[in-house]
Structure 1
Amino acid sequence: MPPDRRQVVKRVGAVVRAAFLKDLALKSVALLLALLFWGSLQLVEDTKETIELELMVAPPPGHVVVGDALRRSQVTVTGPVNDIKNYQRSVAERPIHLNASEYGLGRTSVYLNKELLGLPRHLRTVAIRPSMITFFVDKEATRVVAVKPQLQGDPSAGLTVTSVHATPSRLTIRGPASKIETLDHVVAGPIDIAGAVNSISTTAAVRTEQPGVSIVDLAEVQVAVEINAPLKERRMAGLVVEPGERFQPNETMNLRLKGPKDSLTRLRANDLRLRLDESSVQKGAGGRWTARVLVEGLPQGVIRLGSVPRVDVRRGSP
């Protein structure tokens, strides 16, 4: 390159460097401000976003929402990015509360709008899905109802459930008045008795089987299930009554018994002792004397049916 051209290039380079380095601090500040301005433009630039929402229906004191008080919806909005992010953060932290006291008792349908959803004024609503929620507000009530044990399965062959009892036998429930009125019991169990050969005593969880109705007192009760052989009846005739010291029976006696089948089948007449209760002797119509008969020797679980047995008696010792 000719000397004069090299000198020209050097002079131009020197001028450019001088121009770039002159007031470098001010130029750096200007660049930084330009970047900040560009970033702020990005934040205020409108964008579109769909936001998931949770809405909590808050009933007035002494009232309840029938069914689920927590509802879900979504809103599509456009607006500044910063406003959208702030709104997303606020609704993610807690549900949007809808004050049901403004709508009264019974079934209410509410159309969701920007004001109810608490949207910032810079955000524009594109769509709300669903745009309407329906709820039912009722008075809260309490009631005392019975506990009904629920059994599952059958005991061992030849045995049967003879009684079921829960302790406590009654509990207090709370919920919407319209649902409380239709409930007369809560359920305890299920209690598995499949293949059981003996009586069972166990704790069982209680439930109402009615959404929105809760049990106030306890979560569990004690349930006793009596399991025995099936009860049968048997008539025993011609049983001899032992005489007393002052009176003798004029007749034999018939008994009606009830108890486990095996016990009744094995029972024989000589297993029983029938004797006069001489303290009960009384003179009836027609001059007849009668006395009460005491029955002894009945097997466990076997009972006598009917009224207290009496027989005609006469004076005299054996």
Structure 2
Amino acid sequence: MIHWLRTHVFGHIWLKIVSILIALLLWWAVAHDQPAEIALSVPIEFYNTPEHLEISSERIQRAEIRVQGPARILRQMTNADIDAVIDLAGAHVGEHTFDLTPKQIRHLPHNVNIVQVVPSQIRLDLDRSASKVVDVTPRVIGTFAAGYRLGDVEVNPAKITIVGPQSRLNNIDAAITDPVDATGLVGRGTFTTQAFVGDPLVQQLNPEPIHVTVSTTKTKPGEK
């Protein structure tokens, strides 16, 4: 019995005492950690979007999450630590209001509680996904050489396919190229540029460079 006590109870007694002291200090630090409150601004994530539907709201709000918990934990938290999510399953075309409550907040650390979520609701417009073929309109600028004027302008490709919410596509008739500066051009020249749609929710399908070929012709006597 004495040998057992020496081996299992009193063996390495100082290491055991130090371990107990460390455990007591950690318990004391956790038990006496003062509660605190912070606000985190996080993006709102959407999932389970129905097939062939798109969000047509141009501005998506961020959520401000006010949380309360041990100061030690809150000091280490960042905006990337939690998510505000909204489930779009079952939604259809049109306007929808979604509640944003603590139930929609994920990845919250242990011992941290949500005090407030702002906004408490958000409204989204959902529209059908669509595509459309539109003309590419070249934009040529610059001052031509004396005795020359702008002649033919060719665009390749002359049309592009754009994709996005149906209602947005209905308002777009053409894409416009970035300005092509043909200053001083004599004869014929080809410039590489990009097409601009102008709606942040509409994008080109398979975007590619646009080649604008500009020709100049001699002005006739008396022609400006």
Specify if TM > 0.5: yes
Q: Aligned ranges for residues 26-45 of structure 1 at < 5 Å?
A: 31-42=21-32, 45=34
Measured after TM superposition, the shift of residue 27 of structure 1 is 6.5
Query: C-alpha distance in 2, partners of 1:199/1:169?
Result: 18
Kindly report structure 1 stretches of 4+ aligned residues shifted beyond 6 Å.
none
Q: Which has the higher relative contact order, 1 or 2, with Cα contacts under 8 A spaced 6 or more apart?
A: 2
Do 1:199 and 1:228's aligned partners in 2 also have CA atoms closer than 8 Å?
A: no
Aligned sequence identity (%): 22
Task: Tell whether 2:159 aligns with 1:159.
Answer: no
For normalisation by structure 1, the TM-score amounts to: 0.56
Do 1:56 and 1:71's aligned partners in 2 also have CA atoms closer than 8 Å?
A: no
Task: Tell whether 2:84 aligns with 1:96.
Answer: yes
RMSD of the alignment, in Å? Answer: 3.0
SS in 2 for 1:101: coil
Q: Paired residue for 1:105? A: 93
Do 1:56 and 1:69's aligned partners in 2 also have CA atoms closer than 8 Å?
A: no
Q: Aligned ranges for residues 221-260 of structure 1 at < 5 Å?
A: 221-230=210-219
Task: Tell whether 2:124 aligns with 1:135.
Answer: yes
Do 2:193 and 2:211's aligned partners in 1 also have CA atoms closer than 8 Å?
A: yes
Measured after TM superposition, the shift of residue 102 of structure 1 is 4.5
Judging changes above 3 Å, is the alpha-carbon distance between structure 1 residues 80 and 27 closer, same or farther for their aligned structure 2 residues? same
Q: Which amino acid aligns with 1:126?
A: V
Query: C-alpha distance in 2, partners of 1:78/1:116?
Result: 17
Task: Tell whether 2:197 aligns with 1:208.
Answer: yes
Judging changes above 3 Å, is the alpha-carbon distance between structure 1 residues 191 and 178 closer, same or farther for their aligned structure 2 residues? same
Q: Which amino acid aligns with 1:163?
A: D
Do 2:83 and 2:105's aligned partners in 1 also have CA atoms closer than 8 Å?
A: no
Q: Aligned ranges for residues 148-297 of structure 1 at < 5 Å?
A: 148-230=137-219, 261-262=220-221
Measured after TM superposition, the shift of residue 191 of structure 1 is 0.4
Larger radius of gyration: 1
Q: Aligned ranges for residues 45-84 of structure 1 at < 5 Å?
A: 45-58=34-47, 59-68=49-58, 71-81=61-71, 84=74
Do 2:82 and 2:105's aligned partners in 1 also have CA atoms closer than 8 Å?
A: no
Measured after TM superposition, the shift of residue 197 of structure 1 is 3.0
SS in 1 for 2:153: strand
For normalisation by structure 2, the TM-score amounts to: 0.76
More helix by share: 1
Q: Which amino acid aligns with 2:100?
A: L
Q: Paired residue for 1:115? A: 103
Measured after TM superposition, the shift of residue 69 of structure 1 is 7.2
Do 1:57 and 1:69's aligned partners in 2 also have CA atoms closer than 8 Å?
A: no
Judging changes above 3 Å, is the alpha-carbon distance between structure 1 residues 27 and 57 closer, same or farther for their aligned structure 2 residues? closer
Judging changes above 3 Å, is the alpha-carbon distance between structure 1 residues 123 and 158 closer, same or farther for their aligned structure 2 residues? same
Q: Paired residue for 2:9? A: none
Q: Which amino acid aligns with 1:66?
A: S
Count of paired positions: 206
Do 2:63 and 2:118's aligned partners in 1 also have CA atoms closer than 8 Å?
A: yes
Q: Paired residue for 1:310? A: none
Runs (5+) with no aligned partner, structure 2: 1-12
Do 1:66 and 1:176's aligned partners in 2 also have CA atoms closer than 8 Å?
A: yes
Measured after TM superposition, the shift of residue 217 of structure 1 is 3.3
Runs (5+) with no aligned partner, structure 1: 1-23, 231-260, 263-318
Judging changes above 3 Å, is the alpha-carbon distance between structure 1 residues 227 and 51 closer, same or farther for their aligned structure 2 residues? same
Query: C-alpha distance in 1, partners of 2:99/2:168?
Result: 27
Judging changes above 3 Å, is the alpha-carbon distance between structure 1 residues 65 and 29 closer, same or farther for their aligned structure 2 residues? closer
Deviates more, 1:136-145 or 1:221-230: 221-230
